[in-house]
Chain A
Amino acid sequence: MSVVLTGLVKRYGPTVALDGLDLYALGGEILGIAGPNGSGKSTMVGVLSGETPVDSGVIEVNGQAWTPTRNTKVAVVHQEPQLFPNLSVAENLVAGREQFRFGRPSLTPDERLLVDDFGMHGVVDRPLGALPLSFRQRVEIMRGLLQDAAVVLFDEPNSALTFDESAELFENMHALAAAGKVVMLVSHRLSELAAHCARVVVICDGRTRVELSGAELTPERIAQELVAGIVVAERTSSKRDVNGDVALESDTWTHRRGAFRDVSMQVAAGEVLAVMGVEGAGGRELVRSLAQLEDATGSLKCAGRVEYVTGDRAGSLFSNLSVEENLALRMGSAYTGPMGWWRRGVSRSAAVEAKKRFGIKAADVDDSIGSLSGGNQQKVALAAALLTDPAVLVLEEPTRGVDVGAKADIYRQLHTHARSGRAVVLYCTEESEVFECADRVVLVSRGRVIDDALVADFSDVEELARHLSAATRADEQLTPAGSNPAGSKEE
């Protein structure tokens, strides 16, 4: 069994998602795939699952050219499974391979055996939508096996799973590999990649950057390779000491659904704080909870108003409105006259000024927000929040999918805002962002803050990346004995 990708190219308009990607995977091994946001990982997953056609390039399975409609299936286990929530587990397994014309779908003895193997016997007749995510993922794996898939691709499969559930998932992965299948794992969790994979391929800018195996395969090394491919924007000077007043303070701050617990932290006025953590570790929920977007209990004190900018622009911008209107929306009554009359002139001149101050590239502030590039849209989202001069600005991955130039502009704006005596808290998943933008970084793992470091103490981004991944790994090894499937491979 083998899968070979040669020279895959995929463009979306002017954006090149895959730029001649080459990689291979063999049966019996787990191949890890890592890459920063926007590196082309998700496009590759889409190509292999048949959802995305490629512009050029060859995919070979077992030495034969492969297309999504060929008999050899590639099963993809998605972060959010692509299944039928209204059908039962059994019906989900049958859908697409039905052996009946009349009557009801039923499982063959072999299929029942598989259901038992996966411990799903008790839930086989329950509607899938009512089951927890780990069960739905198992159904997706089973569907792949029943289609006789030669390749099983796991796409960030455990980002929303508990520790036990993800241990279980890895057991399944190893079993699949042992049965001779090609298993591929796309993940942000570097220590898991290092622990479970025979080889890890790092993808940057739509190409294979490096392949790591053997002694080279350590979380620190992957972290280093992930950031090495990125042109680091000019580092905004970060402060060693921040002696401002406290702008935000949390105590025993605990998520209602358990994503994080007992977080006590302070953010000083004048400081840019990065909250770092892989998806599912609780960092995102923590940051969102500061803006009351997640339910949490405990005490939270803020020096003033909190404004929030989401990671996806869909959550911050109004695609049907113009640049000016987007900038005006958070301003409340600042632009309105008697009886709610909108003083268009005031709002327009404010928008023109903001366009200049934030370096928004748009022909006119009347342009529809959709006509701007991603980076400029993100600047508008940021400007809309900053114009209200919040005491605390909270952002989720502020430069996701943004080019280097716009990135530097955005970091500068965040700093200017912080240095005027306000606080900025941002959620990051990439070390380079922490290094370029933040004064201090708080690392979240498994729902708790496990590390708190000053960015100025690190001389380069590689050093920071090594430090953070070592801290994450140390935390993950603190788990109860026996439940860590990682133990076996690390000598």
Chain B
Amino acid sequence: MTAEVLEPHELPPTTTGTRRAANSLLGTAARLGGLVLAIALVMLFFAIKSDGLFLKTNNLLGLLRYMSSLAIVGLGLTAVLVVGEIDLSFGNLYGLSAMVAAVAWIEWEWALWMAILAAYAAAIAVGSFNAFFTAVVKIPSFVATLGSSTLILGFTLYVSNSNRYDPRYPPPGKPDVSTGELALFRGLANQDLPGKLPMQVIWMAGIALVFWFALRRSLFGFRLRAVGGNPTAARLAGLPVARYKWFAFLLVSVAAATAALLDFSYVASVAPDAGLTLLFPTFAAVIIGGASLQGGHGTVLGTLLGALLLAVIANGLAVTAAGAFAQQMLLGFVTIGAVVLDQFTQRWRTNR
């Protein structure tokens, strides 16, 4: 084949071995390093502001627990953003799957394992619904999931009759759930490990590991990124684009159901609108973590750090008793700020 050799001057200047490796590492490190720095600064601020209350072990463990459900859903959302789509329905799906489990278990007196299975079935149904309209009917996923989101909320209210469910106190006329099942279910999340580490943190770590493997060390993740990077090129290369979009929607749905069941297990009570407040912080965490709405970009570590930053902010504001309005305002500010900062660093990197 062609044996022509490029003159050295034709190569971009920063391509010699070590420099190149350092460069690509530097890109990721600069972004994540900035995030770590931001987390440290915000923690320092709250530590001072709360006279050290923020740094108490109990508080930090609670912070990690809050971070866990954010991170679990966020990892699913990362997959959807990587494949170049968007999902607005996972918040209400979170409410639906917890409620399906609760109603089946408490109201319909199903066995616990069947109730949990029903929750996942609901999640898979919703994920497939979203994927069908996005990848087959080809309407924008923003519209499809905006619609399914409110559809799900309505359905959840219908199934639950707008009731709150608690397995310890079944509604009048219903028998108590078996104590064995109750203990088993509460044990999923509501038990402390050595060092009082919340169980949910272990779940998060395990799920993050699975996601990291799937996104970075498997054909699946590679193709997910290819499809998100350029769907046309992916189609021309013979990749099953629709199927990968479907996988991504399934991932976020299953992740939302998992987070919902774990939270239900921890607080032992579920309301139909439980997921309403989950939507924005999850998006914020994933975007802050470096996933892009244009598709093709997003990492597990970034999403974890994004979730940590949001958990620190939420917890810090609660500890300093700043009030809910401050949390809302800061959340918006931090999200926009992080993306603006990212755009600047990216421009700086390409202009060098």
Contact = CB atoms under 8 A, between A and B. Distances in A.
Contacts of A119: 4-6, 10-11
B49 interface: no
B146 interface: no
B233 A83 contact: yes
Max count, chain B CB within 10 A of own CB: residue among A50, A82, A94: A82
Nearest to B220: A101
B59 interface: no
Nearest to A164: B10
B95 interface: no
A118 B297 CA distance: 28
Interface in B236-289: 236-239
B233 A102 contact: no
A94 B239 CA distance: 12
A85 B217 contact: no
The main secondary structure of chain A at its interface with chain B is loop
A91 B234 CA distance: 12
Interface in B292-348: 295-297
Contacts of B216: 104
Contacts of B155: none
A84 B350 contact: no
B3 A98 contact: no
Contacts of B237: 95-96
A474 interface: no
A126 B20 CA distance: 8
Interface in A70-120: 82-87, 91, 94-96, 98, 100-105, 114, 117-119
Contacts of A122: 11-12, 15-17, 20
A60 interface: no
Nearest to A173: B2
A346 interface: no
A172 interface: yes
Interface stretch (B171-179, B190-198, B224-232): B224-232
A481 B335 CA distance: 57
Max count, chain B CB within 10 A of own CB: residue among A95, A123, A145: A95
Interface string B12-42: 1001110011001000000000000000000
A102 B218 contact: yes
A145 B1 contact: yes
Nearest to A102: B218
A126 B15 contact: yes
Contacts of B350: 130
Contacts of B296: 84-87
Contacts of A265: none
Contacts of A378: none
A322 B11 CA distance: 50
A166 to B, nearest CB: 13
A49 interface: yes
A85 B225 CA distance: 10
Nearest to B213: A102
A125 B233 CA distance: 19
Contacts of B15: 122-123, 126
Contacts of A164: 10
A179 interface: yes
Interface in A12-55: 49-51
B137 interface: no
Max count, chain B CB within 10 A of own CB: residue among A122, A126, A179: A122
A436 B137 CA distance: 48
B343 to A, nearest CB: 15
Max count, chain A CB within 10 A of own CB: residue among B296, B297, B350: B296
Given A126-B20, A126-B24, A171-B4, A82 B236 contact: yes
Given A103-B217, A132-B12, A87 B6 contact: no
A228 interface: no
A87 B226 CA distance: 7
B223 A98 contact: yes
Nearest to B16: A122
Given A86-B228, A130-B350, A117 B297 contact: no
A233 B233 CA distance: 41
Nearest to A122: B15
Nearest to A143: B237
A51 B239 CA distance: 14
Contacts of B4: 117, 119, 168, 171-172, 175
A126 B232 CA distance: 21
30 contacts: A50-B236, A51-B236, A82-B236, A84-B226, A84-B229, A84-B233, A84-B234, A84-B296, A87-B296, A91-B222, A94-B222, A95-B222, A96-B237, A98-B223, A104-B216, A104-B217, A104-B222, A105-B222, A118-B2, A119-B6, A119-B10, A119-B11, A122-B15, A122-B20, A125-B20, A126-B15, A126-B24, A131-B12, A132-B12, A175-B1
Closest 8 CB pairs of A and B: A119-B6, A96-B237, A86-B296, A122-B15, A84-B229, A86-B229, A175-B2, A82-B233
